Structure 1
Amino acid sequence: MDKKLNCVIIDDEKHAVELLVDYINTMPNLQLVKYFTNPLQALMEISANDQIDIVFMDMDMPGMSGIDLSIAIRDKTKYLVVTTGHSKYAYEAFGVQANEYLLKPISMSKFALMIKRLLNSELAVKNTVAADDFFFIKTDQVQKYTKINIRDIIMIEGLNNYVKIHTVNETHVAYLTMKELETKLQDNPNFVRVQRSFIVSMNYITKVEGYTIILSNKMEVPLGTTYKKQFLVFLGEKTMKSKRNVPD
């Protein structure tokens, strides 16, 4: 991998910042862009133009919590790594789509292994066939088509002989079946069918409360009995867990 990943550290503890700076400088694939000890300053100064690849986010900070800040800037970084001294934030970290969860004190070996996982996922994304990134659907007008970027799909909703494709910007209606779209997306690990009438993207799940899935567009999808086992396996694979004996 030739390009270095741009890193930002947000932590109110100076010694924690210094440790991560040392670790980042040690890794040949990383480069530090900036760091913040004030979360409000980070909120105001971080923008999409910074081209950030990894944000290392502390949870307990004065003025603004790491969870709230993560929600505000999640779309401005490719990877989010939670760094905290408390295991209690694991569920919240899942809710803000954190890629990794590092418990303090963070050793160099744990840090290096985590970076290796991110680099492997980065390589996997680059090896994805570009042709699978989008598809076109026919509109209700003759000879007119609409492009659907797969990465923008939040949810697909079945409506008898039609489907609604909910994306980050708008909703499209297409004369397609749920089975046809499920087949189209079957090689994409981010999509899972959770009910006879719903396929959702894991990228846009913000919460799972009991058997209700809450998405980033505020829609709530009930988990169907038939697909419950499949979804729980999917959820388990994406959930960060402590190796300690902690009650469920």
Structure 2
Amino acid sequence: MNSKLNCIIIDDEKHAVDLLTDYIDAMPDLHLVKSFTDPLKALIEITAEDKVDILFMDIDMPGMTGLDLSQAIRFKTKYLVFTSAHSKYAIDAFGVQANEYLLKPISMSKFALTINRLLQSDTGLRNEEKHPDYFFIRADQSQKYIKVNLKDLIAVEALNNYVKIHTVNGIYVTYLTIKEVAEKLDGNSSFMRVQRSFIISMDFISKVEGASITLSNKLEVPLGTTYKKQFLTFLEEMTLKTVRGVPN
């Protein structure tokens, strides 16, 4: 499977096309599919089969401007990058959902930084696809499954070989270990293990008193010694502070 991003260049100046072609060839994550010096020809010949990831397009072109052309073919590409010698079109460019605006002359370093931003965005989207914002649990009946949305998940409580799932819609008990749930939530900054038997959602904390955490459903969770430092660091970072001196 080809993991490279497919690119198309549209620019009426041949030397500009040649320059971007060289830059694309130098980037291991990019692959040039087609290039055009005639925007009208590009309008006709770019198809859904091209599977375009990045479209590099000039704005000032004879016959049809890049801004006009983008309105016709924007849906055919994941990312749209305008390349122009004029900064005056920048606002209009983002008005047609451009992702980047490269001002000519374009250096290799400027080009590489732009691609790096797009690749980071692409990786983020792929990660979101791999980590859906919900999971299913099996209820007491063997053929009954309950969907748990992460935005509704308040806490997970260990009960020997089972866990109690506290949500805004109710409480469910299922045959899982807290370790298995922790692995599912790994990498999600909204959840933290605060005790050997509890994982909580930071979004549902109502108050913290000493070593006791109260959640929005009135559940009180004791803060475990092993997890205390991590939780207090979070609390310190999220606490609003004044720059004024301590009152008398």
**What TM-score do you get using the length of structure 2 for normalisation?**
0.52
CA–CA distance in structure 2, aligned partners of residues 58 and 132 of structure 1? 39
The CA deviation at 1:23 is: 0.3
Match of residue 50 from structure 1: 50
Report 1:2-151 matches (<5 A): 3-129=3-129, 131-132=132-133
The CA deviation at 1:128 is: 0.5
CA–CA distance in structure 1, aligned partners of residues 120 and 2 of structure 2? 14
The residue matched to 2:132 in structure 1 has which SS?
Answer: helix
CA–CA distance in structure 2, aligned partners of residues 67 and 132 of structure 1? 36
Match of residue 214 from structure 1: none
Structure 2: where are the runs of 5+ without partners? 135-189, 191-248
The CA deviation at 1:131 is: 3.4
Match of residue 222 from structure 2: none
The CA deviation at 1:48 is: 1.4
Q: Deviations over 1:114-151 (max 9, x none)?
A: 00000000000001045359xxxxxxxxxxxxxxxxxx
CA RMSD of aligned residues (A): 1.9
The residue matched to 1:35 in structure 2 has which SS?
Answer: strand
- Give the letter aligned to residue 81 of structure 1: V
Which structure has the greater CA radius of gyration?
2
Q: Deviations over 1:194-243 (max 9, x none)?
A: xxxxxxxxxxxxxxxxxxxxxxxxxxxxxxxxxxxxxxxxxxxxxxxxxx
CA–CA distance in structure 2, aligned partners of residues 50 and 18 of structure 1? 20
- Give the letter aligned to residue 93 of structure 2: A
Where in structure 1 do 4 or more consecutive aligned residues deviate above 2 Å?
A: 129-133
The residue matched to 1:131 in structure 2 has which SS?
Answer: coil
The residue matched to 1:60 in structure 2 has which SS?
Answer: coil
The residue matched to 2:64 in structure 1 has which SS?
Answer: coil
CA–CA distance in structure 2, aligned partners of residues 47 and 5 of structure 1? 16
CA–CA distance in structure 2, aligned partners of residues 72 and 2 of structure 1? 27
CA–CA distance in structure 2, aligned partners of residues 59 and 126 of structure 1? 30
**What TM-score do you get using the length of structure 1 for normalisation?**
0.52
CA–CA distance in structure 2, aligned partners of residues 42 and 84 of structure 1? 18
Q: Deviations over 1:151-178 (max 9, x none)?
A: xxxxxxxxxxxxxxxxxxxxxxxxxxxx
CA–CA distance in structure 2, aligned partners of residues 40 and 128 of structure 1? 37
The structure whose RCO (Cα within 8 Å, separation 6+) is larger is 1
Length, aligned pairs only: 134
